Structure 1
Amino acid sequence: MKDDIRLAAVGDNCIDLYDQTGDAYPGGNPVNVAVYTVRLGGSASYTGVVGDDKYGRLMRQAVAAKGVDVSHLHTEPGSTALSHVTVVNGDRVFGDYEEGVMENFRLTEEDVDFLCGHDLVVSGLWGRVEGDLPRLKTRGVPVAFDCANRPEDPAAEKALPWVDYAFFSNDSAGDRELEDILRAIHTKGPELVVATRGERGSLAFDGSRFYRGGIVPCTVVDTMGAGDSFIAGFLYGLMRGEDIPACMALGAENSSVTLGYAGAW
């Protein structure tokens, strides 16, 4: 079993600003996955861009304080990405998203070389790196991609042929319908497709069989970061050589920790 796990997270970051309280939490899908990987005992880096404002300083300091390598977190003149959030019945509801300097984020050749020195690279729908995934995949580094709840999005469609492990969320489809969705996504390139289903657990498909995962019951304080926690746990298990059911169980366990406090981390 491999112990020296090195995950590279790349793409979007944002400050989650809770409008009801004024609280500001650093986050963003790849950032969260990096932080949760370190929490699990692995090492992780985050490659992206922040603005030269107070939120950019907060992002850099907070991510570094969690033990994540931020040597390839760039700073550009402008505003750090910002998501407005409200909490309704314990569930977070996203409002306006201000992309800021993330709008023009592009990987440099040095960034690509750095990413390829890891065991696995993970990004997501708003990371603006879907066009760079062929460069990573052809250099032999496994790629994971989070399609959020929009696997049909053009960015996801562009990414999927170059992705090894695809994730998305869907808590409304029935079992048969969701199986069909996983089959369809699998035909686009990924060797493994995983859907998170909220309280209904998770479903994975490797091209030959389906795997069903449960949840770890817990008191829900805030759902922010729960899906990213699942992805981090799942990928951590994969990089350690665990089988798919064990990875799903580790994802659920990691998610239950995050559900128990406010904010992503």
Structure 2
Amino acid sequence: MHDLVTIGDIKLDTFVVLPEAHLQCSFVEREKACFLCLEHGAKIPVEDFEPQIAGSAANVAVGIRRLGFRSAIYSVLGQDATATLARARLREERVDPRYVKVLKHERSSYSIVITYKGERTMLAAHRPHHYHLPKLAPFKWLYLSEMGEDYEELFRDLVALVKRRKAKLAFNPGVIQLQGGIRKLAPVIRATDVLFVNKEEGHQLLNHRSGELDLRHLVTRLWKLGPLVVVVTDGSRGSYAFDGGEVWHLGTFPTKVVEMTGAGDSFATGFIAARMYGKDLPKCLRWGAANAASVISVVGPQPGLLTKVKMSRALRAQRAITAKEL
């Protein structure tokens, strides 16, 4: 029996921390856009260079395990060094790797994450794979996250499986899924217990330009798509949750931002863990905020993931920060 099985791509992220760079900012359609400028053809010194196993499914599987639950992951990898590193990493964190499939003559996904002043610029290569849902041992929750193209059959099978097993589903759509639009995602969203998106992704899902909807309208419109709970994160402005009752808002927990990769995954991990422990929405938001604050204080999406003991300490330290009705 697994408490949670995550589904999505595992990738190798190489983190490059720049001590110096140039930002060129302008306004595009009333939205501020900044461009990271490096001298073409130059040899650029870096502050740090570190490869880490990553991907939303891997991050959440590791995070949930640290918070006291049994986790497994389904992912498809190429027969390369990433597969070897991924399996070793999962075993190290006591995540069940039995559903990780390694395919000959294929390559794993890969990203270069350039960090400057705490913000990231990601160069990502998503490798195409054919996804086929394996026979899963009993589980309580599924966490469905980013993956490459050719995901539609898997999504249909997952919806049927969740209904048949009477399990709970958390969904955090990736870039490729969001590009597919609401028509492809609607059946999954209607079967979802907790939908996680950031503000920009929420607007994209509703086919609105970023910023067109205020947060109250955004979360309520997303909820009408069918999930039981909607969670929207908005960077330094905090997070929002709605289950058809009150819209709850929580600010961020104070921390020194080092690198932002994994902020959303760690928030989702904390929120889901609190939900699994039977906490209400305001407390779930606090668990998410505590986990995210820890993760962004170091480089990479997994080193800062909290254990249950460290989560308790973080929540006590920030007991004054509580969710408010919007």
* Fold shared, TM-score > 0.5 on shorter chain: yes
Letter in 1 for 2:252: I
RMSD: 2.4
Question: Aligned partner of 1:138: which letter?
Answer: K
Q: For 2:139, what is the secondary structure of its paired residue?
A: coil
Matching residue of 2:38: none
Aligned-residue offset at 1:153: 4.5
Distance 2:194 2:179 in 1: 16
Alpha-carbon distance in 1 for matches of 2:179, 2:108: 27
The number of equivalent residue pairs is 255
Q: 1:34 aligns with which of 44, 52, 61?
A: 61
Give the conservation status (yes or no) of the 8 Å contact 2:63–2:266. yes
Look up the match of 1:57: 84
Deviations 1:3-37 (A, max 9, x none): x9811111221111235655321111111111111
Q: Which residue pairs with 2:30 in the alignment?
A: none
1:98 Cα deviation after fit = 2.1
Structure 1 residue runs without a partner (length 5+):
none
Of 131, 140, 143, 1:119 maps to 140
Amino acid of the structure 1 residue aligned with 2:140: D
Partner of 1:93, secondary structure, is strand
TM-score norm. by structure 2 comes to 0.72
State TM-score, norm by structure 1. 0.88
- The answer to whether residue 192 in structure 2 is matched with residue 163 in structure 1 is yes
Structure 1 residue 228: Cα displacement: 0.5
Query: Does the residue aligned with 2:240 lie in a helix, a strand or coil?
Result: strand
Residues 156/179 of structure 1: CA separation in 2 closer, same or farther (3 Å cut): farther
Question: In 2, distance between residues paired with 1:105 and 1:166?
Answer: 22
- Assess if the C-alpha contact under 8 Å between 2:13 and 2:111 holds in 1: yes
Task: Give the letter for the 1:16 counterpart.
Answer: D
Report if the CA contact (8 A) 2:141-2:167 is conserved: yes
Using a 3 Å threshold, how does the CA distance of structure 1 residues 133 and 187 change in structure 2: closer, same or farther?
farther
Q: What is residue 130 of structure 1 aligned with on the other side?
A: 155
3-state SS, counterpart of residue 18 of structure 1: strand
Matches within 5 A, 1:76-87: 76-77=103-104, 78-87=106-115
Please report how far the alpha carbon of residue 241 of structure 1 lies from its aligned counterpart in structure 2 after TM superposition.
0.5
User: Distance in 2 between the 1:18 and 1:229 partners?
Assistant: 18
In the other structure, the counterpart of 1:89 is: 117
Distance 2:186 2:212 in 1: 23
CA distance in structure 1 between the partners assigned to 2:228 and 2:10 by the alignment: 27
**CA contact 1:17–1:84 (8 Å) conserved in 2:** yes
Counterpart of 1:13 (choices 3, 10, 15) is: 10
Q: Percent identity among equivalent residues?
A: 27
Once the two structures are superposed, residues 161-212 of structure 1 have per-residue CA deviations (whole angstroms, 9 ceiling, x without a partner) of 2211101012796696222222222112101000011111100111122011
Per-residue deviation, 1:229 = 0.6
